[in-house]
Amino acid sequence: MAVPLLDLKLQYATIRREVRDAIDEVLDSQVCLNGPRLAALEAALADYCGCTGGLGVASGTDALLVTMMAMNLGPGDEVIVPAFTFFATCGSVSRMGATPVFVDIEPDSFNLNPAAVEAAITPRTRAIVPVHLFGQCADMTAIMAIADKHHLAVIEDAAQAIGAEHHGQRAGSFGAVGCLSFYPTKNLGAMGDAGMIVGNDSELLATCRIVRVHGDAGGYRHVRMGGNFRMDEIQAAALLVKLRHLDDWTAGRRRNAARYDERLAGVDGVVTPRIRPENSSVYNQYVIRAQRRDELKAHLAERQIGSAIYYPTGQHTQEVFASLGHGPDAFPQTQRAAAEVLALPIFPELTAGQIDEVADAIRAFYGA
């Protein structure tokens, strides 16, 4: 049977009436921006993430950029980022004129290696951006200790990890702020682009609020540079509906991951996701390490089974960062991950039969 990597239509079918009613209310009101639904979503998501405040923006990338603008990052500043991540993490640093300082990842979690973080700190370092990759928190206990020791800001890139926990504390609530993405493929996905900044630093969030609308402090009084980074009311309305279902969807992802873990146990050539005991993952992706990864991907495609590579290269090798002078082997764990990772279907609507279809195809490939 065919198994897609993701099928958003299945989820939408279960909430279609709720979403359409919520959007119709916005259209009937013609309050399209900065209205009651955005305010409600900001409060609800701040509470969900264990934070005191939230600020809706137009995308997860804008959440990072607005935060960095509010922190006045710029030329001469260094920001520590993982080499293994989506481009927005390091690209936002460069857009500020600051320098992304790449560091390697841990082989088991794919997240920032705290020892590498501390080794990369210089007098020019202003911030650390840990990414909670694939739905599992980075080692925030160690990272926050390093940040406190060196008086550095921490900006959590929690785009893939809404609801994930480290020692019972939720992603986004550790650092100065957490940045969320509601890109449609995320666990909590909008009807297009949307994002949010959550946090406990009321002064920083207030500055972000000004940056969000062209640096306007009210009454067309522009006190700093900003931009148009707003989330519209239609997205907020849809996300409020979806937020009511998020815990159930997360439970489905965890159930599916557990079945994969069981079915792929003992397959020589495959390493299933390693979730640390102090963490709880929300499985934005179910990512295995696979020997002969590209051959396996082709084998799955022949059987109409979807899979994807997140990510095929470390960000330090991107052409736009050539001036930083990193060779392709600068970060061995990043390069190894880029050669081995493969994401399998994990969306909550998957059936047990579909998971077995994927697992059987993998087992057959490796002769298990």
DSSP collapsed to 3 states, the chain:
CCECCCCHHHHHHHHHHHHHHHHHHHHHHCCCECCHHHHHHHHHHHHHCCCCEEEEECCHHHHHHHHHHHCCCCCCCEEEEECCCCHHHHHHHHHCCCEEEEECECCCCCCECHHHHHHHCCCCEEEECCECHHHCCCCHHHHHHHHHHHCCEEEEECCCCCCCEECCEECCCCCCEEEEECCCCCCCCCCCCCEEEEECCHHHHHHHHHHHECCECCCCCECCCCCECCCEHHHHHHHHHHHCCHHHHHHHHHHHHHHHHHHHCCCCCEECCCCCCCEECCCCCEEEEECCHHHHHHHHHHCCECCECCCCCCHHHCHHHHHHCCCCCCCHHHHHHHHHEEEECCCCCCCHHHHHHHHHHHHHHCCC
Mean pLDDT of the chain: 97
Query: CA–CA separation, 209 vs 293, rounded Å?
Result: 44
Task: Express as a percent the part of the chain with pLDDT over 70.
Answer: 100
Give per-residue pLDDT as tens, 135-152. Answer: 999 999 999 999 999 999
Q: In the predicted model, is pLDDT for residue 256 greater than 90?
A: yes
pLDDT at residue 354, rounded to an integer: 98
57 has which bridge partners?
195
Among residues of the chain, what percentage have pLDDT more than 90?
Answer: 99
Q: Is the pLDDT of residue 1 over 90?
A: no
Model's pTM, two decimal places? 0.97
Chain segment 181-235, per-residue pLDDT in tens: 999 999 999 999 999 999 999 999 999 999 999 999 999 999 999 999 999 999 9
The predicted structure's pLDDT at residue 160:
98
Q: What is the pLDDT of residue 368?
A: 76
Residue 21 confidence class, pLDDT cut points 50, 70, 90: very high
Q: pLDDT by residue (tens digit) across 326-345? A: 998 999 999 999 999 999 99
Taking residues 37-57, report their average pLDDT: 98
